[in-house]
Amino acid sequence: MIRFIVIVVLVIALAYCGATVKLGRRTFFGHVRAIWATEEVQDLKNGVEQKAGPTMDRVKRGVKKGYEAATEDGGTGSAATPAHK
């Protein structure tokens, strides 16, 4: 429990410092936002979307089919065996 509290306090402190302490003209989060807005990063983002897009579509279809198969038995949790009434 103490370890969890220490980790939460550290995360909050880092988030606070990242949002308020100036590192040159900007805060840490300001630098990250400025980098994210560059043309190079946008090009990288578009390239990843183009390459990963078909794979993500297949994953989404698979998850949807799995969900449909799991729920078509009436919510018993087992599509292979009928529910006992």
List residues bridging with 23 in a β-sheet: 26
> What does the pLDDT read at residue 58?
93
Question: Which has the closest alpha carbon to 16: 5, 27, 24, 26?
Answer: 27
List residues bridging with 51 in a β-sheet: none
Per-residue confidence band for 72, with pLDDT thresholds at 50, 70 and 90: confident
Say whether pTM exceeds 0.85.
no
Contact 29, 19 (CB under 8 A): yes
Contact 61, 68 (CB under 8 A): no
Return d(Cα 16, Cα 29) in angstroms, integer.
10
Q: What percent of the chain has pLDDT over 90?
A: 73
